[in-house]
Copies of this chain bind each other. A is one copy, B any other.
């Protein structure tokens, strides 16, 4: 069989860190992080620390300047990041933190890297339970994208198609945290907050989901929050 390789999309958040922990049990992992012009670089520093923690064989940071396209509060200064209402409201509508075609772009580039390093798997930490508002986190999308990738890449046409793995797709945030805890994910190194302050804001949608997840899992969140 030889070495089995996997590319893991690593954002620096706890989902992708858990995904990397899972993949690194069975594969030589090659991490890929996107610097897509979001308002801060805290996530990228987190990704570097996490990749180092799990001894990734390689870790690439790829700049894709999504701010040129705009349309999201995560990349455009003129759109304020909405505070979460209650956790129950999250997932009812497509939030303004939606970045158009983000996972499609990231999966495309992940496929490209998987071809280049000879990986058989491409891991993405997408999950549709807490983030059901994002159309590109749903299994229907992932399956359709898999099909497109099989038809549109060299390995898909001439070799063994690269399989997209979404081990967290059906897990709640609390379940992901429990799994991450089992696998020894260094939660203190992960960064979730949409803002880039010294401490996490504790108020944005991402912080709210994270905090609720840790509470539900009965695990302490080691990250420091404002007040």
Task: Decide if A219 is an interface residue (CB 8 Å cutoff).
Answer: no
**In the complex, are the beta carbons of B141 and A152 less than 8 A apart?**
yes
A168-221 residues with Cβ-Cβ distance < 8 A to B are none
Secondary structure call for the A interface: helix
How many copies of the shown chain assemble into the complex?
A: 2
Determine if B108 and A158 form an interchain contact, defined as CB atoms under 8 angstroms apart.
no
A112 touches B141 (CB 8 A): no
Given A136-B152, A151-B141, verify A100-B111 contact (CB < 8 Å). yes
Closest to A111 in B: B101
Q: Say whether A41 faces chain B, with CB atoms less than 8 Å apart.
A: no
**Inter-chain contact B152/A112, CB cutoff 8 Å:** no
Q: Are B153's CB and A101's CB within 8 A?
A: yes
- From A11-19, A21-29, A42-50, A67-75, the one touching the partner chain is A67-75
What residues of chain B lie closer than 8 Å to A153, measured between beta carbons?
100-101, 104, 135-136
B residues near A71, Cβ cutoff 8 Å: 112, 115-116
10 closest Cβ contacts across the A-B interface?
A100-B112, A71-B116, A101-B112, A141-B152, A144-B148, A104-B108, A136-B152, A105-B108, A141-B151, A145-B148
Interface residues of A (CB under 8 A from B): 60-66, 68-71, 94, 98-105, 108-109, 111-113, 115-116, 135-136, 138, 140-141, 144-145, 147-154, 156-158
- Apart from A100-B154, A135-B156, A147-B148: 8 A-B pairs, beta carbons within 8 A: A62-B69, A63-B65, A70-B116, A100-B111, A101-B109, A104-B153, A108-B108, A148-B148
